[in-house]
Structure 1
């Protein structure tokens, strides 16, 4: 019911970064069902190909780009590909923060915080030039120090960008969550809401889908 009330996004260009089997994949399917043109960026070639095939089956215009989103040079090349193949983005979803069982500090920081910075630096300037756009980032809430640091960093970074572009017609908001498969749909709905015209007056906002009990 909640998802069916969202406005259509026909013709809008959405850039989505994140694992195809997580929140990013779910957001892509929701965007496809609402008429958006999608560029999805990930680092798992097989998963990316499967997701793009599914988006095509849903009737969406979609491309997949294999890249390390924490690498500045790679993201610059991604930006060029997106602008050339699907056009300037209207919506940017940076959904790279997922569970990292056994990952070390640097891996968690690179895949979450650094990747978020690189994506914002790559795509927000085009939105500013167009004086329109919506950004949604994903900040994890976790028990380990690295996840906690990344979540706080992504939130602060997104709010910083929101302040910088507030007068340029661009919005930036955060969804916080505890990385669990059972919460993926809820997080995806929240991300789509923040990117939609239904949240046109919201920027620099943190929408908590982690659940208060998860923070205790």
Structure 2
């Protein structure tokens, strides 16, 4: 899973699965754009990646659920690193604040990221997308997980003929499974999974969606 020189965009904040994916990408030589809402945390992760020899930039996107903000993220990535070849949308939805906030922070944010980045990947004729579908104990989280899965499969079918692959990691938000989810995401984006699209890898354990 050598990724030397490839441009990867990781949305989801500089912690949890997103942070673990950033570290795995950096270890394999990718050029990483870390996208999150907290400037200090983003900066800390970027500094860590650079300290370890990686090329990394931080992009603060306080309004990940806003189309204009997401488009600004895309332009920043293009200006800092060039056209992305890999997109990881690893948003773990906010479960406090009710149904709408959970859906917006998980499903809507994922849709806006795919809308902003995938068409450009299709124009270049290649791209790998990985999304994170959470499995939880509340209706809103599970609705986000199901929606993200269906949305990713839709994009996989829509852009398959243009060289873009899109796959899902189904995950239960637990600290003990973060590394498992991150490695699954890296595998799906790599050439080792070049023939896989519209696929879901389940690392949700006992809470897997049946």
TM-score (norm 2): 0.96
SS of the residue 2:108 aligns to: helix
- 5+ long unaligned stretches in structure 2: none
State whether residues 95 and 101 of structure 2, in contact with CA within 8 Å, keep that contact through their aligned partners in structure 1: no
C-alpha distance in structure 1 between counterparts of 2:207 and 2:72, whole Å: 41
C-alpha distance in structure 2 between counterparts of 1:127 and 1:51, whole Å: 26
C-alpha distance in structure 2 between counterparts of 1:28 and 1:37, whole Å: 9
SS of the residue 1:38 aligns to: strand
C-alpha distance in structure 2 between counterparts of 1:92 and 1:102, whole Å: 27
> For 1:60-113, what per-residue CA distance to the aligned partner results, in whole angstroms no more than 9, with x for missing partners?
111111112111000111111111110011000000125x35331111111100
- Partner residue of 1:122 out of 110, 113, 116: 116
Deviates most, 19-28 or 154-163: 19-28
- Residue 78 of structure 1 corresponds to 73
The verdict on how the C-alpha distance between 1:145 and 1:120 changes in structure 2, with shifts beyond 3 A counting, is same
Structural RMSD (CA): 1.2
1:4-83 paired onto structure 2 within 5 Å: 7-67=1-61, 68-83=63-78
C-alpha distance in structure 2 between counterparts of 1:97 and 1:21, whole Å: 10
State whether residues 96 and 102 of structure 2, in contact with CA within 8 Å, keep that contact through their aligned partners in structure 1: no
C-alpha distance in structure 1 between counterparts of 2:186 and 2:207, whole Å: 24
Give the drift of 1:21: 1.5
SS of the residue 1:165 aligns to: helix
C-alpha distance in structure 2 between counterparts of 1:70 and 1:30, whole Å: 26
> For 1:170-209, what per-residue CA distance to the aligned partner results, in whole angstroms no more than 9, with x for missing partners?
1000000111111100000000000000000000001100
2:86 equivalent to 1:91: yes
TM-score (norm 1): 0.94
Q: How many residues align?
A: 209
- Partner residue of 2:203 out of 204, 209, 213: 209
C-alpha distance in structure 1 between counterparts of 2:166 and 2:206, whole Å: 23
SS of the residue 1:87 aligns to: coil
1:130-209 paired onto structure 2 within 5 Å: 130-209=124-203
C-alpha distance in structure 1 between counterparts of 2:80 and 2:158, whole Å: 28
